[in-house]
Amino acid sequence: MLRRLGRKAVPYLYLAPALFLLVVWTYQPLVQAGQLSTLSWNLLPTSPIRSVGGANYERLVHLPAFWSSLGRTGVLIVGLLPFTVVLPVLIAMASRRVGPRARTLYHALIFAPFLIAPVAAAAVWRWLLHPRTGFVDRMLGSDRNWVYDANTAHAVIITITGWQLLGFATLVVWAGLAGISGDYDEAARVDGATPGQIRRWITLPLLSPTLLFLVLTTVLLSPTLTFPLIDTMTQGGPAQSTTNIYYLLWEYGFHTFDAGLSAAAGILLFVGFGSVAALLVWISEKVAFHDD
């Protein structure tokens, strides 16, 4: 009996270190954030901590800045989808026609921006976008202040983030295309299908799980990946035009020192993005099952 229980426990022993780290670094902070969201505290050890129940949540949903930042987060995600889904598919499809040696260089050039530290990229782009003396204004013959203009600042953040994510997304699409058997293309050619029909009716449907993964990654990670750019280039401005929900959460916690409000925003963010992630995972599983 003991020997049988020991054999059944072996897999869980292998999982134990990972589960321990998951509890310590994910679930424990999440529980603490939930507790903090019911308190009123300014993070100073000497200041009193008061329990306010759900008042932080009620106050948060009545703040116009909260809903504005959610809207900008949605615009950010939609604006990044062409960089993380559409362009990677086009680039990966085009690279299939490139020779093996040139393809290696082609891949390296596409992936290189992803390896640049966001703070370093922000510094370079601020120089390129400098009004009047920057490369972009000289090329366009304008004197627009791209970074500190409320009409263009958010587009600048989206473009730079998309430029950095393009290489990673293209690499994921290349991996997805490599997993598609060439037998499908050969069978379709035998039946008289054109290259365009093969891409439309065979390659793209088989690539759909990969594309859904990229959509999920964009939804979950893009707001956090923009944080270094926003903090380095605009600090959420001008006029909060680049303040998304993640940056607003940070401002509540470390600018206004309202720990309870920041934690409440984090919990709502976790629930909202967790629901979106669950929906996308469910759709991905349905698509994968249908393909099988």
Please name the residue that has the structure tokens 């303040």: 243
**Rounded distance between C-alpha atoms, residue 186 and residue 119, angstroms:** 47
Please indicate whether residue 290 or residue 164 has the higher confidence score (pLDDT): 164
Please indicate whether residue 292 or residue 135 has the higher confidence score (pLDDT): 135
Token representation of residue 10: 């072996």
Decide if pLDDT at 2 tops 70: no
Q: What is the mean pLDDT of residues 282-292?
A: 66
pLDDT for residue 83: 93
Please name the residue that has the structure tokens 């793209």: 204
Quick one: fold of 67-291?
Answer: MetI-like fold (1.10.3720)
Confidence of residue 290 (pLDDT cuts 50, 70, 90): low
Dihedral sign of CA atoms 115, 118, 119, 124 in order: positive
Q: Where are the domains of the chain?
A: 67-291
Predicted structure pTM score:
0.85
> What are the tens digits of pLDDT across the range 246-259?
898 888 888 888 88
Confidence of residue 160 (pLDDT cuts 50, 70, 90): very high
Query: In DSSP terms, which residues pair with 51 in a beta bridge?
Result: 39
Biggest distance spanned by C-alpha atoms of the chain: 82
